[in-house]
Chains A and B, each alone.
Chain A
Amino acid sequence: MVFRKYRAVKQWGKMDTRIFKEIYNSRNKRKMPAFEVPEAVKALGVPIFEPNEVFTQTNRKKNIIEQARSQAEGEVRFAEQEHPLQKNHPAYIFEGAEPMSDGIAQAALLTRSVVRYNLPDTILHNAAAKLDIDEEMVRDAILHGERYNPTLEKLPARFDPVMFWIRHVRLHGTPVLKRKVNRDSPLSVYLSGGQYFSRVPLVLRGQPHLTVQSPDSTVTMPWAGPIDVKAVSTEPLPDIYPISPIIDFEKDTIYNDDLLLTRRQQKTHVHSILWSREQDQKYPWTSEQNMANAILTTYAAAIAEATRNGATKLEKPLLVRGVQLVNGRLDLVAFQLNTLKPTETGDNAEKNIVWIEKGLRLYKPKPYYEQMEVVEKLDMNVFHKFVALMLGFGAPHAH
């Protein structure tokens, strides 16, 4: 071995820096035991302040006041007003985004109505509604939405429940919900009072694709006469215990509690609302849940029709129709509004009537990523039911 003279380390190298940093970091990481207030001091009962925050307000009585305030306000928490139009009460919001847990029964309970599971015979076999409509015309009408539409938008990502790992090509085409600015007018009604909405009101919102209105008031003539309405008032509302009917509503702050309905200043009457729903690829709604959505949205339209001129009382019953299209299946609703009163615990005498036809297959739809060339399995019986609903006008003198 070569003889080497002793030489002091004169250079502070990068390894030394690393070692020093490690030592330094480990020293910094060493935890001091947290300070505990001694028992003797606690026994004295003197107020103990956070030493770093002696001069801030958090140590003062403000905390206690805050606690008392939040306690007093209880469950209904007033939102911090951030906007001059913001209402200081939260509201339950129905936007058709969440399925009703208990389906039709829940919707019936919320709308205080009795459900009739088929359209009445007088409406179905109405001679006036027997129009001579060619099947080809119906096919063509369906293809207008499905095929002739030139929309070229980015379609949602496709999810295959079996081959879930496949990343499908993103296609462009006509989305299931085809939005048109002049058609999809918003609809919003505000309800409060009753068993469920006395503390927190309910706002029913929708954006039906079509709102059919007529200057003729016969379109809102009720189907059931006073005798039927009286008979219905003895029927009980469905009991959906242990589910609370309001659990599916979102709770949010609102800025406008006015009625929102297209052409509400004009002297027209809502005949019907028609819209379609897109099913979620992963979590599709059941036909019951689709129907509940249709009932609530039609109820919103009926309330809007009843209160469009600032009216708070319903002078005579009225009827509004709702048509929902989900995956080629029609949900037909005829909602006869007999009372504007919301559901009460004890007094439930007057009731609304709702006639429904659930999940009628009008045609066989294609998935959104395929182009429909011809309409398959078109059911003209369903179409005639739809026509009967639309053209079935009540004759109150008949009863």
Chain B
Amino acid sequence: MISSLAVELGALRLACSSKIIVATRNMPARGTKPLPRHLWDMADLEEKTGGAYTHKPLRINRLGGRDPETGRKVNQHIGGGVKFDYFMIDFHRRGPTEQGSTYDERVLEVRRDPNRTCHIALCAGTQGKRWILATENMKAGDIISTSGHLAENPVIGVEGNAYPIGSLAAGTVINSIERYPTSHSETFVKAAGMSATIVRHQGEYTVVKLPHKHEFSLHRTCMATVGRLSHADIDGKIFGSAQMHRRFGYKMSSGLFHKKDGYFGRKVRALPPVRVLDTPPQAPPPAQRFTLTKADLSGLHGHAKVHNLLPSGYSTRDYPD
């Protein structure tokens, strides 16, 4: 009956003189989210160091695009290659929160890192040595400092120094930005030549414009390093040959050429609204595993308890002859 009603309505609309053609053209569907890249086994590295930080080069265990849990291939065209040494990077530069006091370090060495695009810098201070991502003009012998103090007036940051984003002036170019004010959160802006900009401060939060122009509102105590990341000319560099590409663990794709259709290419989309990162993602509760005994399964406790065999199906019937 409903369908017949609809047909009637459609007929009415057709009969209507002032015809409205409603045409909405949607953007092509967004692609799926990129898969996690399983290049090297971070769990293995953590096991080797016992969870502690070390500046010493570590031997990586290459995963070849396979999930370390299941061992199944996840990433195409990843595999093989030479095992490079891995340098642990300290992304969370935390310093004293008192006004005027800083944690100073000297840059001992700036070198390239085969496991990431931007250069890395070895810094030494009173607490020890650590590797950080090198900014554009960082060189050996530089003194860099870290301050956790939230300044009342915006600070013009010095390149290589780390500040809470809340105390930096709008327009400051920053990198290695913590997503949440915790010492284990992920960081934004880690690739060579990349940088983010501080847009404005709003109460407890600071809006930061990332290299892909999306704006994020982060807590103002999140730490960031001032400056643009080094090795910006990596785009101009080439592997030279497919074979060299292969030595680094990336394999050529192969297969029939498919012409790209209209869904490929650049989409002119409006920027999304500012995304507020206020609560850090909670780790899922650990899976519980337990086994119930036969007594528990029967559900008969106390004076209701009977012989264990009874809930298992035993009956007192006489066996037939």
Identify the A interface with B (CB < 8 A).
Answer: 31, 34, 101-102, 164-165, 241-244, 247-248, 282-283
Contact = CB atoms under 8 A, between A and B. Distances in A.
B126 A247 contact: yes
B57 A247 contact: no
A37 to B, nearest CB: 13
A243 B125 contact: yes
B284 interface: yes
Interface in B51-103: 57, 82, 85
B125 A244 contact: yes
A241 B82 contact: no
Contacts of B190: none
A34 B125 contact: no
A101 B125 CA distance: 10
A345 to B, nearest CB: 14
Given A242-B126, A243-B125, A247-B126, A282 B82 contact: no
A31 B125 contact: no
Contacts of A282: 57, 85
A101 B106 CA distance: 10
Instruction: Categorize the interface residue count of chain B.
Output: 10 to 19
27 contacts: A31-B285, A31-B287, A34-B285, A101-B108, A101-B124, A102-B124, A164-B82, A165-B247, A241-B104, A242-B104, A242-B106, A242-B124, A242-B125, A242-B126, A242-B143, A243-B106, A243-B124, A243-B125, A243-B126, A244-B125, A244-B127, A247-B126, A247-B128, A247-B129, A248-B129, A282-B57, A282-B85
A34 B282 CA distance: 12
Contacts of B57: 282-283
Nearest to B114: A164
B105 interface: yes
Contacts of B124: 101-102, 242-243, 247
A101 B105 CA distance: 12
B115 to A, nearest CB: 13
A248 B54 CA distance: 12
Contacts of A102: 106, 124
Contacts of A164: 82, 247
Contacts of B127: 244, 247
B292 to A, nearest CB: 14
Contacts of A244: 125-127
Q: Which 4 pairs show the lowest CB-CB distances between chains A and B? A: A242-B104, A34-B285, A244-B126, A101-B124
A34 B124 CA distance: 44
A239 B172 CA distance: 33
Most chain B beta-carbon neighbours within 10 Å: one of A34, A101, A164, A244? A101
Nearest to B56: A98
B130 to A, nearest CB: 10
A299 B285 CA distance: 55
Residue among A31, A247, A282 with most chain B CB within 10 A: A247
A282 B85 CA distance: 10
Interface in B14-51: none
Contacts of B85: 282
Nearest to A166: B82
Contacts of B284: 31
Given A247-B124, A283-B57, A242 B82 contact: no
Interface in B121-151: 124-129, 143
Contacts of A31: 284-285, 287
Contacts of A165: 82, 247
